[in-house]
Amino acid sequence: MKNIIKIKVTGKNIERFLRRLHNHKIDLLEIKYRNYNEVIVKIYAKDYEQVEKLKTIYDVQILNSYGWLKIKQQFFSYKLFFFSLAVGACILLLLTNVITGVEVIHSDKDIRTLLLEEVEEYGIKKFHLKKSYDQIEQIKKDILENHKKELEWIEIINIGTKYQIKVEERKQNQKKETLEKRNIVAKKPAILKKIEAKNGVITKEINHYVGKGDPVISGEIYLNEELKDITSADGKIYGEVWYKSSVEFPYLYYEENYTGKKKTVYQIRFLNWQFDLFNFHPFKQSKKKDKILLQHSFLPFQLVKEEQEEVVVKDKIYTIEEAITEARKLAVKKMEEQLDKNEYIISTKDLKVSTKESKIRLDVFFTVYEDITAYQKIDEEEVKKRLEETKKE
């Protein structure tokens, strides 16, 4: 790309000047007359110096330039813009390649801690540069190699500027216990609702009442009233059981729940006025601990470091109906906390509501579907004796 410039030539008898330029081997790439004594000419930039020498009485002015020269000029005239653009691009590149968070998705806290510590060793932590695909693959391989016993599978996913780690824990095959000879009995009085027998003989029927200690799955195997074998009964039994629960709930309810979010805020205080520095997302409610960093002896000015911990405050005055509803919810919640995943509340009934000072007391009756499996060891000697006695009779 050749550098071309556009010049304006002014003077009398311009043709003579153009002829002179041509005689000196200067190429006139484009000639445009504006009027009889003014002409716009495009020439190669390298010829400009010679034009300057030949101009004599003529006035020559550069109007514009083309080619690399133009690009160069434009670049220098916009250098601040290009510099900002380059700096911006670098910052953007840096920010998009910096890790802002690492999260492990697993219910077990120990596994989460283990993985966070492991990946941290490989440089996957906050405010560090992101890793390439190959590096991630190698890290996964190394972690799995180092924790063969604990981990089955691991995946490190890059989501924006965060890393999400998904992990599958290795479950060791537990050695089967050598089970003793036993019956499965009811743990508490209930109406039988479900029997899952893996081994043994079912001795009770669904929807029948069982008392505490009644055998439901027997380990004694009989054929034609003759004991054939004594085995270890295995299975689960579920029944409908009953509870009476009492809860108290205050009319005036105040509760503070910590969300676990903490931050340090620097604050300027002047008289009663206070201003947080760089606290872009302040907590709505928080517990605070102050530490004065700087203060003036005479002026009411202070620079304070404040440790804030977010809390959610519940402060309410309930009516009787609301208090009963809340008390019932509380009772249900307490009951549900005691139940496993296969257990549930079948029904509830309010028995009695009484007021005591600033609280209400609610008695609730629960019908619960619950695991009532309990085990009873079989004394083989006793069984044999019992059988012999039966035969004699």
SS3 at position 251: coil
CB of 12 to another protein, least distance (A): 13
Task: Kindly state whether residue 28 participates in binding another protein, applying the rule CB under 8 A.
Answer: yes
Amino acid at 364: V
What is the closest distance, in whole angstroms, from the C-beta atom of residue 67 to another protein in the complex?
Answer: 17
- Residues written for the chain: 393
Minimum Å gap between C-beta 11 and another protein is 14
Of 11-19, 48-56, 108-116, 290-298, which segment contacts another protein by CB under 8 A? 11-19
Q: Which member of 8, 18, 309, 332 binds another protein (CB under 8 A)?
A: 18
Give the DSSP H/E element, type plus range, for residue 205: none
CB of 28 to another protein, least distance (A): 4
Q: Are 230 and 219 in contact (CB under 8 A)?
A: yes
Of 24, 27, 313, 342, the residue at the interface with another protein (CB under 8 A) is: 27
> Which region among 23-31, 170-178, 247-255, 376-384 touches another protein (by CB under 8 A)?
23-31
Number of shown-chain residues binding another protein (CB under 8 A): 14
Tell me: does residue 23 bind another protein (CB under 8 A). Answer: yes
Nearer to another protein, 15 or 121 (CB): 15
Q: Site map for another protein, 30-49, x if CB under 8 A?
A: xxxx----------------
* Structure tokens that stand for 355 in this block: 């007021």
Minimal CA–CA distance to 168: which of 111, 117, 120? 111
Query: Which region among 13-21, 207-215, 237-245, 303-311 touches another protein (by CB under 8 A)?
Result: 13-21
Torsion sign over Cα 47, 48, 53, 59:
positive
CB of 54 to another protein, least distance (A): 14
DSSP labels for 320-388? HHHHHHHHHHHHHHHHHHHS-TT-EEEEEEEEEEEEETTEEEEEEEEEEEEE-EEEEE--HHHHHHHHH
Contacts of 93 (CB under 8 A, 6+ apart): none
Side-chain half-sphere of 333: how many Cα atoms within 13 Å? 7
Q: What's the rounded Cα separation, in Å, for the pair 32 and 10? A: 12
- For another protein, which residue of 2, 12, 15, 255 counts as binding (CB under 8 A)? 15
Identity of the amino acid at 92: L
Among 4, 5, 9, 21, binds another protein (CB under 8 A): 21
Where does this chain touch another protein (CB under 8 A) — which range of 29-37, 76-84, 176-184, 277-285?
29-37
Stretch that binds another protein, among 19-27, 79-87, 196-204, 305-313 (CB under 8 A): 19-27
Q: What are the b/e assignments for 239-266, b being 16+ CB within 10 Å?
A: bbbeeebebebbbeeeeeeeeeeeeebe
Residue 224 backbone dihedrals phi, psi, to 5 degrees: 50, 50
Residue 65 beta carbon to another protein: minimum distance, rounded to whole angstroms: 19
Least Å distance, CB 76 to another protein, is 30
Shortest Å distance, C-beta 18 to another protein: 6
Q: Which residues bind another protein (CB under 8 A)?
A: 15, 18-19, 21-23, 25, 27-33
